[in-house]
Structure 1
Amino acid sequence: MIPYRDAEFSDPFTGCVDVELNRLIFLEVRVDGVDGCQFASVIDSCWATPVNDPQSSLHWALIDDECPSPNDDTVEILQNGVTASSRFSFRTFTFTADSPKVYLHCRIHLCLLTNNTCSSQCSPGPHRRVGRSLDFHDTAFISIGPMVWYKRKN
Structure 2
Amino acid sequence: MNMEINPLESIVHKTLPAGQGRYQVRMVPYQDAEFSQPFNGSVNVEMNQQMFVEARVKGADSRQFATVIDTCWATPENNPHHSVRWDLISGECPNPNDDTVELLQNGVSTSSRFSFRMFVFTANAPKVFLHCTVHLCLLAGNHCSTVSLQNLSKLILF
Residue equivalent to 1:140: 151
> How many angstroms apart in 1 are the aligned matches of 2:43 and 2:103?
21
> How many angstroms apart in 2 are the aligned matches of 1:65 and 1:17?
32
- The list of structure 1 runs, each at least 4 consecutive aligned residues, that deviate by more than 6 angstroms after superposition, is none
* Equivalent position amino acid for 2:87 in 1: A
Q: Which runs of 5+ in 1 are unaligned?
A: 119-132, 149-154
> How many angstroms apart in 1 are the aligned matches of 2:155 and 2:44?
13
Q: After TM superposition, give the deviation of residue 138 of structure 1 in Å.
A: 1.0
CA RMSD of aligned residues (A): 1.2
| 1:103-152 Cα distance to aligned partner (Å, 9 max, x none) | 0000000001112222xxxxxxxxxxxxxx3x32311000010x23xxxx
Q: Which runs of structure 2 are paired with 1:62-73 in the superposition (5 Å)?
A: 62-73=88-99
Q: After TM superposition, give the deviation of residue 15 of structure 1 in Å.
A: 2.8
Between the aligned residues of both structures, percent identity stands at 59
> How many angstroms apart in 1 are the aligned matches of 2:131 and 2:70?
11
| 1:77-105 Cα distance to aligned partner (Å, 9 max, x none) | 10000000000000011100222210000
Asked if 1:99 is matched to 2:125, the reply is yes
Query: In structure 2, the residue corresponding to 1:57 is in which secondary structure?
Result: coil
Query: In structure 2, the residue corresponding to 1:137 is in which secondary structure?
Result: coil
Residue equivalent to 2:57: 31
- TM-score normalised to structure 1 length: 0.82
* Equivalent position amino acid for 1:137 in 2: S
Report how many residues are paired.
Answer: 132
> How many angstroms apart in 1 are the aligned matches of 2:43 and 2:152?
20
Residue equivalent to 2:6: none
> How many angstroms apart in 2 are the aligned matches of 1:110 and 1:74?
26
Query: In structure 1, the residue corresponding to 2:148 is in which secondary structure?
Result: strand
Q: Which runs of 5+ in 2 are unaligned?
A: 1-26
